[in-house]
Structure 1
């Protein structure tokens, strides 16, 4: 149960204050990155492929671009947030404090998810400078974005506990998440692939996440919205199970 709201607020505010100290850097990076993606994908490729599934190509890549950045930001923010107390040794003070693992999780993941949603909103606003993006289901889109941020922040929290060096913090995002996102339909529709490759791609879990988010924009996706929501819920449940196992056993927390 959650009862120590003061402790949650203190950790949350501390993490958000760290984000505030680098706010302008964090603001400019997604703006510049988004602009570059639109120059490369929107102009170069979009000039040859004007529409995908009756959606202008410039608008079509917006959900994938938002997910690509939010995946990495969520993992980075959450993993760094819990790794720093391990690195400095203050993790033992938090573990001995009158806060349950759930309360620690809510504080760290809540702050990391807030940062990721802010970055996602900045990317969405920047995209409007290049294309006109209409959202078919705005409330569902916002809810899906928050759910995705929380889920990948939980995944990042796991990485932060697992990592034993700053280099290991970057291994999973760079070698797993980035490739899976690019191969998961972030900038193209699975209908454009040959039948054999389309079948193989469906084994990529990121496909279901990006497709579900794209469905909230345009009312269509590579897989059904129900399947996408089920995939996100399953991933979230798995992350929660792993995290509570880590706290229960003290895996790389108490040694």
Structure 2
């Protein structure tokens, strides 16, 4: 394992975060704060408790997951797309660096930035509502697992996209709507039976439920099922990334 190569890629990607601090950190935190102000104040005044939690505290895991998914995908997709766009990816592919080391560097940096942002949003949420975390260790583990899973997904998108429009297509038109429909701002148990069944086909429901369980040990879906869905997504994305490097799909042409 070439630790120096991994560290070089990882540090280069992390340095981009500090160069674009307003876009990478400040902007998502401000957006999340606005969600708390609008939803927590307006809707929270009418819906005081959901599943035994205040509405403001109830939406915290959903907001964290919304930021975690979008940032994991966007950071990883841009991280690999830009070298392809400028042509520097060929220098990396010709260097004595294995595919595994490239993935660890890019995906690790994207996941790190996403988890950092999630923790910052958690601290910001504490300024608006009282938060109780019953299982902090599981929360951190689930954040890391989700961040790495969807950073891999972002890596796949970055390889697939051949222009900046495609780079933004999946996060804006697929991931964000799925997050809003995944129980971020409401409990799926509040839905009619038919729509609740439909909602269970949305993988984001399991991600939000798993994170919400770490706060109050209560979830809309069984926690084992949530972990199973997340790990299944991770395995699928690892398989796709392995196929990309094995075939050279859009990397060697």
* Fold match by TM threshold 0.5: yes
- Per-residue CA deviation, residues 76-118 of structure 1 (Å, 9 max, x unaligned), is 0000000011000011111111111110000000111111011
Alignment of 1:137-156 (within 5 A): 137-156=135-154
Q: Say whether 1:32 aligns with 2:8.
A: no
Partners of 1:221 and 1:155 in 2: CA distance? 25
Offset, 1:31: 2.3
Q: Which residue of 1 aligns with 2:92?
A: 94
Q: Which residue of 2 aligns with 1:224?
A: 222
Q: Is the 8 A contact 1:78 1:154 kept in 2?
A: yes
Alignment of 1:165-180 (within 5 A): 165-180=163-178
Q: Is the 8 A contact 1:30 1:122 kept in 2?
A: no
Offset, 1:175: 1.1
Q: Which residue of 1 aligns with 2:56?
A: 58
Q: 1:47 aligns with which of 45, 48, 55?
A: 45
Q: Which residue of 1 aligns with 2:202?
A: 204
Alignment of 1:151-162 (within 5 A): 151-162=149-160
Gaps of 5+ in 1: none
Partners of 2:102 and 2:204 in 1: CA distance? 27
Q: Is the 8 A contact 1:75 1:173 kept in 2?
A: yes
Q: Which residue of 2 aligns with 1:126?
A: 124
Partners of 2:199 and 2:135 in 1: CA distance? 26
Q: 2:15 aligns with which of 7, 14, 17?
A: 17
Where 1:113 maps in the other structure, the secondary structure is helix
TM-score, normalised on structure 2?
Answer: 0.98
Offset, 1:133: 0.5
Partners of 1:194 and 1:54 in 2: CA distance? 20
Q: What is the aligned-residue RMSD (CA, Å)?
A: 0.8
Partners of 1:181 and 1:196 in 2: CA distance? 19
